[in-house]
Every structure is written in C-alpha cells, then in structure tokens.
Amino acid sequence: MSTLVEAPPATNSPLSTVTARPRPFRLVRHSLALAKRSLIKTWRTPEALIDVTLQPVLFLVIFVYIFGGAVAGSTHDYLQFLLPGILAQTIATGAIAIGVNLNTDIAKGIFDRFRSLPVPRSAPLVGAVLGDFVRYVIVTISTLASGYVLGFRIDSDPLRAIAGCLLAVLFALCLSWLPVLVAMKVRTPGAVQGLMFALIMPLSFASNVFVSADTLPGWMQTFVDVNPMTHLVAAVRGLFLGTPVGSHVWWTLAWCAGFVAVFMPLALRAYRKKI
C-alpha cells in the first residue's frame, strides 16, 4: 500500500473536472455502454439463462407429446403448429427477468452511482432493456434448435424465417418496458415475478398459441382477437410455415409501438420518482 501515498490520482490538473468532450447522441452511447454491462452480467451468470434455454425445450416436448395426438391428430403436425407459439410464449416470459433483475439492482446501489454521474437519467434503464436483446436471441435459437431435433421444419424461405425471429425479438424488447415499470412500482423481486406471470399467462393461454382460435367460445374469441400474443403467433406462424400472414405483422408492430409509447414513459417517470 505504500504506493498509494506516492502516486498522484489525477492524470491532469487535480482540480479539473471531467474533461468531457461534448459529443452527440449521448443517450445512445451511454445506453449502449450500459447495455454492454448487462451483457457482461448475463455472460457471467449463465444459470440466469435457464428460463430462455431450458424452458422452450421442456414446453415443446411436454406439449407436443402429450397434446399432439389429441389436438392435431399427429405429433408432427402439432409441432409445426405449436413451435411459433412456444417461441412467442417463452420470449414473452423471458422478458420478466429484466424486471426481477432491475428490482434487485436498484436496491444494491449501482444505480445511485449512475445517477451521480453526468449520464442521461433514462440511460441505465434503456441500457438494461437493450442488453436483454441477447437473451431473446438465445430463446429463438434454443426453441428452433430443439424444434429441429424433434422434427420441426421451416416451410417458407430463410428470409421470412429470419423476419419471424426478428419480429419475436422486437416484441420482447418492446414488451419488456412493462416488467421494467412493474419493477419500479413494487418492493421485491418476487413481487415482480408473481405479478408479471399473472399478466403474461392469460395472454399466452387465451390465444392461438396452443390451439386454433376457432375452437374457442365466442366471448373468448373477442379477447383472443385483440390479444397481442395472437397477432405475434399468427405472424410468426405464417412467416415460418409459408402461409398467409394477413395483417398480423402490422398488428404486432402496432402493439410493439404501443408498449413503448405507454410503458416506457411510465417506467422512466416511476424510476425518477423511486430514487
């Protein structure tokens, strides 16, 4: 520790403040730097990826082999039908983790450090949301890979298949502002988890994820028709299987825009008020 007292801490004049080079797009650059932080954290704690790696595999196996024969007459037909739905469901539940993590993080004090720096106030949240991009890509890969092993085949072309994947990832990125908002409002990580499951489970079951919507009673179809999950699943299904997608891609994009327009400002406001 003797070196401690000898060397000076500052590179430049000790009283100088930060040698800030005013550069444009500060929010973007700071958000990306903070997204990198999230990525490093994800990389360092692989066990936190179970929800996005193991869960789609389990759901595919369970649903295909238990319900496949009864629902679709053959497990292969059902797998073709179900996989886009499982992708949508897992990617939506995968968005819950960000809320749980943020709720934990804010209690630890690193966010206070961010707030004492000349960093745009929204950058830590935007960064966290962007950093989860990787988790959603992992969901997509593990769902498709395990589906392939079970016999799933893409019937359209690679370009449309990629578009389907990107649509699902975009959906999760936009939807994740909801768990971020919840994380700002409730006290414990467990409460974030509980509340978000209570919100996402009805969305994924009262939809076309597991069965075709025509089999449902009329009153429920009304809900299913507006359910964002329905549009996402129908769009991805069409893009993967080469069937018509109708207006579902546009509806999905509209929902994405809606999530960001509503939940992002609310989440940012709650964040400013929270601390």
Partner 1 sequence: MIEAEGLVKTFGKTRALQGVDLAVPRGTVLGVLGPNGAGKTTAVRILSTLLTPDGGTARISGFDVVRDAERVRQSIGLTGQYASVDEDLTGRQNLELFGTLLELGRTGSRRRAAELLEWFDLTTAADRQAKTYSGGMRRRLDLAASLVGSPGVIFLDEPTTGLDPAKREDMWDVVRSLVTNGSTVLLTTQYLEEADALADAITVIDHGRVIAYDTPEGLKRVVGGQTLEVRPADPAQLPRTAGILTGVGSGAQADEIRKGVLAVPVAGDAALTESVARFAAAGIAVTELSLHLPSLDEVFFTLTGRTAADDDTTNRTEVAA
Give the binding site for partner 1 (CB under 8 A).
1, 3-5, 7-12, 14-21, 23, 29-30, 33-34, 36-37, 40-41, 44-45, 108-110, 112-119, 275
User: What is the spatial distance between Cα 234 and Cα 252, in angstroms, rounded to a whole number?
Assistant: 9
Least Å from the CB of residue 123 to partner 1 = 8
User: What is the spatial distance between Cα 182 and Cα 197, in angstroms, rounded to a whole number?
Assistant: 12
Kindly tell me which of 126 and 161 has the beta carbon lying closer to partner 1.
126
Cα distances (angstroms) measured from residue 60 to each of 80, 81, 107, 120, 188: 11, 11, 36, 42, 31
Cα separation of the two ends of the chain: 36
Category of 154 on φ-ψ map: left (φ > 0), alpha (ψ -120 to 50) or beta = beta
Least Å from the CB of residue 26 to partner 1 = 8
Kindly tell me which of 46 and 244 has the beta carbon lying closer to partner 1.
46
Kindly tell me which of 3 and 214 has the beta carbon lying closer to partner 1.
3
Least Å from the CB of residue 113 to partner 1 = 4
C-alpha torsion 250→255→259→261, nearest 10 = 60
Least Å from the CB of residue 181 to partner 1 = 21
Least Å from the CB of residue 92 to partner 1 = 25
267 CB-near residues (< 8 Å, 6+ apart)? 125, 177, 180, 181, 184
Q: Please report the sign of the dihedral spanned by the C-alpha atoms of residue 229, residue 233, residue 234, residue 235.
A: positive
Least Å from the CB of residue 19 to partner 1 = 7
User: What is the spatial distance between Cα 89 and Cα 101, in angstroms, rounded to a whole number?
Assistant: 20
Kindly tell me which of 108 and 244 has the beta carbon lying closer to partner 1.
108
Kindly tell me which of 18 and 70 has the beta carbon lying closer to partner 1.
18
Kindly tell me which of 116 and 158 has the beta carbon lying closer to partner 1.
116
